[in-house]
Amino acid sequence: MVTYFGNAFVPDEQAKIGVKTHAFNYGTGCFEGIRGYWNDADQQVYLFRLREHYERLARSCRILGIGLAQPADELSEITRELVRQNGYREDVYIRPLAYKSSEIVGVRMHNLDDALTIFTTPFGKYLPADNGCRCCTSSFRRVDDNAIPARAKVTGIYVNSAMAKTEANLNGFDEAIMLTHEGHVSEGSGENIFLIRDGVLVTPPVSDNLLVGITRNTFLPRGGSNLQITGVYAWEQINRGDGIDHNDHALVGLFFNADFPGTTYNLDLAYVDGQGEHPDGAYGGFSATRRIGELNATFRVLGSHALGHASPGPDSRLSEFGNGSSAVGNGVLLFSELSYTPPSTVDLIYLDSYWCIDRFTSAARGPDRGGALGRVGILFAEQPIGRFGSALRSDPERSVGFALGYQKFLDAARRRQIILELGGREGTSEPRAGAVATGARYQQAFGQHTILQFDAFVTLNEGEGLGYGGRAELRFEF
């Protein structure tokens, strides 16, 4: 038998690591478990969703900061060749393992070498029971996502699963069902859980600390891995961002989220029923998020429409009413967000841009929402406290703009970060309405609830000259 080790196919006995290997000592690796099924009629092994497994391995590597040199298609071909060379005529299990290979003592994820190995072994049924399994609820809770990211298949996290499995077996059960710390069903020790209730297939959501399984996504209808529909109805004391509790207003919202392989779609619809001098407003939004090559890409189309006569007149600017007003404008806002994570890092390079056609207003108001352009970048986002706005205006009315930035995490726990950003905007209907700015933000978390943040910026406004400023913020969040 051969193993893929050190970028070559070598005999099993030569595929060895040293006892000082970092992953062996600290569990700093991630892996996949790929099944291959022998078909006697076709006289060959069929490998189950090979490419999808390697795409998930790449995601796990990015989370842990492990460099994975080969793309999914190349790893798939390596795996097929490995199975061919080993000549299996039975069901087989394939284990790709990406890990920190430095022979060094010290708890960290950075400044360490990375390696990949792939081995195979014969493997029958995972659970031996032919007529169902006896399961128990484990006393061990599933590791929380903010302790070790559950969406990554991390080697070290499987101590949690092993403890639950052994507890179940020693008490006469075949498998353990693990709960979240809130008591929700999460998953088994090594599998996702499905339930058929009244003819409906039910499975825990990805937010309940589970690993999103390849088999799980296969079973969900028509390639979709999640469909969520949320309805909202609110009345009395609705705050529309103007500091007034509108006792006679009502809000209706319907929000759709659908996950498909490679793409997530969102559709939001909202209607605010204003009374008297406050206008009614209808709002809609559609977005698609997917990976394009090495880029993560999101595209959004947002729209607002004033119903009735109470919206600002055609000659006035919505900025005169402010983001914290109940004014409603007619307009469309187009967004694009592109981001890239350099190999072996968790940093982010991003390029965000927007184009506002006419007089779009957001349904979510108030400085605490960051303004309509809060997602473009730190130079556009309104600040949650204080009297001062953003370095570049946060109202999008009849303008285009962009932000190019770099988000650098300064520690493995991601509690310290710095953001450097360059941005600009230009009016599409007004002369001399352009501006460019550069800014920086340093942010550090202390404990569970405290965040210290420093901002600084320099702005050059067309017709107004140079401006600059800075701010410090100590924030407590509960």
Q: Which residues are part of the catalytic machinery?
A: 153
Residues 6+ apart with CB under 8 A from 313: none
Burial degree of 366 (CB within 10 A; 0-12, 13-18, 19+): middle
Integer Cα distance of 327 and 192 in angstroms: 48
Phi, psi of 76 (to 5 degrees): -65, -45
Provide the 3-class DSSP secondary structure of residue 110.
coil
| Closest by CA position to 28, among listed 161, 151, 117, 156 | 156
Tokens (6 digits) for 339: 């981001």
Residues 6+ apart with CB under 8 A from 144: 150, 180, 181, 209
Tokens (6 digits) for 457: 């910026």
Residue with tokens 């990211």: 149
Phi, psi of 63 (to 5 degrees): -65, -40
Integer Cα distance of 297 and 257 in angstroms: 17
With b for 16 or more beta-carbon neighbours within 10 A and e for fewer, the 301-314 pattern comes to ebbbbbbeebbbee
Q: Are 436 and 423 in contact (CB under 8 A)?
A: yes
| Closest by CA position to 20, among listed 101, 97, 135, 113 | 101
Integer Cα distance of 223 and 258 in angstroms: 11
| Closest by CA position to 373, among listed 425, 329, 338, 434 | 425
First-to-last alpha carbon distance for the chain, in angstroms, is 56
Integer Cα distance of 364 and 323 in angstroms: 9
**Category of 315 on φ-ψ map: left (φ > 0), alpha (ψ -120 to 50) or beta:** alpha
Q: Are 101 and 17 in contact (CB under 8 A)?
A: yes
Integer Cα distance of 122 and 141 in angstroms: 31
Integer Cα distance of 32 and 54 in angstroms: 8
Integer Cα distance of 395 and 328 in angstroms: 13
Q: Are 98 and 29 in contact (CB under 8 A)?
A: yes
